[in-house]
Structure 1
Amino acid sequence: MSDWLPPMTTRPNTPAILWVVGLLCLPEVIFLLDGTGLFGRDGLRTWAVVNFGFWNQLLSGGVPLWPLQREAMFLTYALLHGGLLHLAGNVVVTLALAGIVVARSSDAGFVVLFCVGAIGGGIGYALLGPAGAPMVGASGAVFGLIGAWKYWEWEDRRRFGAPMRPLWLSVVGLALLNFVIFWMLDGLLAWEAHLGGAVAGALWAAVVSPRPAAR
C-alpha cells in the first residue's frame, strides 16, 4: 500500500460556477438594497422566506401559497440565506469544490450535482427536521459537493492503494464540526440538510463516475 495520492484536477471559474455563485448572491444583494428603502418597503427577506423557504408543514397538510410551492421549495430554499455571513460560508466552499466537480464531470454535471444536493438536503430536512421552523441556505447543495468530493477521494484511494484512514478522519472531522457549530448556534443549524445533501452527492458521484474497464 502506498501513501501517495495524486491531487484532484480542478477547473475553477467556469461559466457554470460563476452563474451558480451569482444566483446565490443575487437575493442577498436585493435584500440589502431593500433594507435601505430603495424599493419603498422593508421585509422582503421575510416575504421570500415565507414563499420560497423550505417548510415541513407543506409536506404534512399545509396549504401552499402558490401552485407547486411544495415541490419547488426543494430547490428555492437553497437560493436564500440568513445574512451575508451565511451566504459567504456557502459561497467559499462552493468555489473551493466546484472546480473539482467540473473537472470530474462537466459544467452541466456541476449544476446537476448542485441541484441534487439541494434536493437531498430538502429530503433530509423533511425526514429529520423540526416541523415549525423554515430552512434556508445552500448548505444542502454545498454538502452535495462535499459528498461527491469524498466519494471521489475514496475512489482514488482505492485505485492507487492509498490508506483510507485520512478519508475517514476527514469525514469524522466534518461531523464534529457540524456538532460544534450546532452547539454554538443554539441548534440553528440544519444538520439534517447537510446529511441529506452529502448522501445525495455521494450517490450522484457513484452513479456518474465511469466504471473501470473489465479485464
Structure 2
Amino acid sequence: MTEPIQTFPRPSVPRAFMGVILACVAVQLLMLVPAWDEWGMLHGALWPQLFQNVRPMFPGQQVTMFLTYGFLHGGLLHLGMNMLALYVLARSLSLAMSGAAMVALYVVAQVAAGAVQLWLSDSPLPVVGASGAIFGLAGAEIAIAARIQLGKGGSLRPLMGPVLQFVLLNVLLTLAVPNIAWQAHLGGAVAGLAMGLLYRPHQR
C-alpha cells in the first residue's frame, strides 16, 4: 500500500498587497506628468521640514505623509525593484501570517521607517518609497522562521545565509544608490523583527 502524497499550500499574494502594488504603479504613471509629479511630491512625500518651520500644504499633512510616502517612488526603476520585492515577500509570508496581520505589519513598518528616518537623518530631502515597509516584511519573515525553527528544536544556522544576504544587500544599496534612506530601512526592519517575534505564526 502506498503512502499518501503530502501536499503543501501554494503561497499567494493577499489581495490587499496586490492592491498596494497596483496603486503604486498607478501613482507612478500619473507622476510621469510633470505637474502631477510636483503635486504628488508636495502633498505625499515625507518632508522633514514639516516638523520645523515650514507650513504644511493642508491640515494634518504631518500625519498623512507617514502613509502616503510609501506610494511614491523616485522613478520606474525604484518602483520596479520595490514592487518585485513586495510581491515575493508578501507571497512567501502569506504561508505564516494572515492577510490582516500582514497589512497591520506593513502599515506599522512604514510608519516606523518614516519615524526612524526623521529621527536619525539630518537630510532635508523628501523621502519616498515602500522600502521601509518592505524591510518590515523581511524582518518579520526572518523572525517567524527563527521561531518555527527553534520551536522544532532545530538550529538557526540555516537562516544565517539569508540574514547575511539581507544585511549585505542593504549595505550595498546604501553605498551604490545616492541619497538612499537606510535609516528608513533600519526602522522598518526592526519593527518587522519585533512584530514577527510577537506574532504566533501558522506553521504551514
Structure 1 length as normaliser, TM-score?
0.82
**Which residue in 2 is equivalent to 1:53?**
45
**Which residue in 2 is equivalent to 1:128?**
120
Q: Distance in 2 between matches of 1:14 and 1:74?
A: 23
**Which residue in 2 is equivalent to 1:194?**
185
Q: Distance in 2 between matches of 1:121 and 1:149?
A: 17
Q: Does 1:17 align with 2:17?
A: yes
Q: Secondary structure at the match of 2:94?
A: helix
Structure 1 residue ranges, 4+ long, deviating more than 4 angstroms after superposition: none
Cα RMSD between the aligned structures? 2.2
Contact 2:117 2:183 in 1 (8 A): yes
Contact 1:101 1:109 in 2 (8 A): no
Alpha-carbon deviation of 1:70? Answer: 0.3
| Identity between Structure 1 and Structure 2 (%) | 33
Q: 1:103 to 1:166 in 2, by over 3 A?
A: closer
Q: Does 1:93 align with 2:91?
A: no
Q: 1:93 to 1:210 in 2, by over 3 A?
A: closer
Alpha-carbon deviation of 1:10? Answer: 5.4
Aligned to 1:104, which of 96, 105, 125? 96
The runs of 5 or more residues in structure 1 that have no matched partner are 1-7, 35-41
**Which residue in 2 is equivalent to 1:84?**
76
Q: Distance in 2 between matches of 1:112 and 1:135?
A: 21
Q: 1:57 to 1:93 in 2, by over 3 A?
A: same
Q: Secondary structure at the match of 2:185?
A: helix
Contact 1:114 1:141 in 2 (8 A): yes
Q: Distance in 1 between matches of 2:149 and 2:196?
A: 15
Contact 1:10 1:101 in 2 (8 A): no
Aligned to 2:194, which of 196, 203, 206? 203
